[in-house]
Chain A
Amino acid sequence: MSVTVELTYDMGKELGEHRFELEGVETVAEAVSRARERFGDKAEAFDQLGRLAAVAVNGVLASHRRGAKTRLADGDTVSFVKAAAGG
Chain B
Amino acid sequence: MIKGYAGRVLEVDLSRQEFAFADLDEETARLYIGGKGYGTRLLYDRTAAGIDPLGPENLLIFATGPLNGSVAPQSNRFAVVCKSPLTGGIGNATCGGSFALGMKKAGIDVLVVSGAAPQPVRLEIQGDRDEVRFLDARELWGRGTYDTQKELGKKLYHAVIGPAGENRVLYAGIVSNERIAGRTGVGAVMGSKQLKAVSVGGSRKLDMEDPEKFKAYTKEVRKLFADHPVLGESMKRFGTGAIVNTTNGRNILPTRNFQRGHFDEAVKISGEWVEDHELKGVKTSCIHCPVTCGRDVEVEGKGRVKGPEYETLALLGSNLEIGDIKRVAEWNYHADDLGMDTISLGATLGFAMELHERGMLDVPLSFGSAAGVTEMILDIGHRRGLGDDLADGTMRMSEKYGGKEFAMHVKGLELSAYDPRGSFAQGVEYATTNRGGCHVQGASMYMESTGPLTINPQNLKLKADIPIVQQNLACAINSMVLCIFTTYGMIPKAVHEMRPDSFAHRALVKIFENSGPIFRTVMGLKGNPMMWFEKWLTYITGTKFSAGHLQEIGARIFNLERMYNLREGVTGASDTLPPRILNEPTFDHMDSGHPLPELLPSYYAKRGWDARGVPAPRTLEKLQVRL
Binding site for B on A (CB under 8 A): 6, 8-10, 12-13, 18-19, 51-54, 56, 58-61, 63-64, 77, 79-87
Contact = CB atoms under 8 A, between A and B. Distances in A.
B425 to A, nearest CB: 15
B500 A59 contact: no
B310 A86 contact: yes
A18 B242 CA distance: 15
B456 A64 contact: yes
Interface in B197-231: 230
Given A9-B245, A9-B267, A84 B311 contact: no
Nearest to B260: A59
Given A58-B588, A85-B242, A6 B450 contact: no
B243 A61 contact: no
Given A8-B245, A10-B272, A63-B506, 18 more contacts: A9-B270, A12-B267, A60-B422, A60-B587, A61-B454, A61-B500, A63-B501, A64-B458, A80-B249, A82-B246, A83-B452, A83-B454, A84-B246, A85-B235, A86-B241, A86-B417, A86-B450, A87-B309
B460 to A, nearest CB: 14
Nearest to A54: B500
A56 B485 CA distance: 26
Nearest to A58: B588
24 contacts: A9-B272, A10-B272, A51-B499, A52-B497, A56-B251, A59-B250, A59-B252, A59-B422, A59-B587, A60-B589, A63-B500, A80-B249, A81-B249, A84-B245, A85-B234, A86-B240, A86-B243, A86-B247, A86-B311, A86-B417, A87-B240, A87-B309, A87-B311, A87-B485
A56 B240 contact: no
B451 interface: yes
Interface in B422-444: 422, 440
Contacts of B310: 86-87
A86 B499 CA distance: 21
Interface string B263-274: 010010010110
B488 to A, nearest CB: 4
A6 B266 CA distance: 11
A83 B451 contact: yes
B468 to A, nearest CB: 21
Nearest to B313: A86
A64 B500 CA distance: 12
A81 B252 contact: no
Interface centre among B250, B262, B451 (most CB of A within 10 A): B250
Contacts of A79: 248-250
Interface string B441-464: 000001000111010101000000
Contact of A52 (B244, B311, B500): B500
Nearest to A73: B588
Interface in B557-616: 586-589
B140 interface: no
B144 interface: no
Nearest to A62: B501
A56 B252 CA distance: 12
Contacts of A54: 454, 500-501
A80 B250 CA distance: 9
Interface of B: 230, 234-235, 240-252, 261-262, 264, 267, 270, 272-273, 276, 293, 309-311, 417, 422, 440, 446, 450-452, 454, 456, 458, 485, 488, 496-497, 499-501, 506, 586-589
A82 B248 CA distance: 11
B29 to A, nearest CB: 28
A84 to B, nearest CB: 4
Interface centre among A9, A10, A13 (most CB of B within 10 A): A9
Contacts of B450: 83-86
A34 to B, nearest CB: 18
A34 B587 CA distance: 25
B221 to A, nearest CB: 17
Contact of A87 (B264, B440, B588): B440
Interface centre among A8, A56, A79, A86 (most CB of B within 10 A): A86
Contacts of B587: 58-60
Contacts of B252: 59
A86 B501 CA distance: 23
A19 B246 contact: no
B293 A59 contact: no
A84 B234 contact: yes
A81 B458 contact: no
A63 to B, nearest CB: 7
Contacts of A13: 272, 276
Interface centre among A52, A56, A59, A84 (most CB of B within 10 A): A84
Q: Report, nearest first, the 5 A-B pairs whose CB atoms are least far apart.
A: A59-B251, A86-B243, A87-B240, A86-B310, A79-B249
B11 to A, nearest CB: 33
A59 B421 CA distance: 11
B324 to A, nearest CB: 16
B289 to A, nearest CB: 13
A44 to B, nearest CB: 16
B245 A85 contact: no
Contacts of B262: 58-59, 77
Contacts of B311: 86-87
A77 B234 CA distance: 25
Contact of A60 (B273, B417, B458): B458
A52 B248 CA distance: 17
A77 B422 CA distance: 15
B89 to A, nearest CB: 23
B318 to A, nearest CB: 13
A63 B241 CA distance: 26
Contacts of A81: 245-246, 249-250
Contacts of A58: 251, 262, 587-588
B499 A9 contact: no
A86 to B, nearest CB: 3
Contacts of B244: 86
A84 B501 contact: no
Nearest to B451: A83
B245 A82 contact: yes
Interface centre among A12, A51, A64, A82 (most CB of B within 10 A): A82
A1 to B, nearest CB: 15
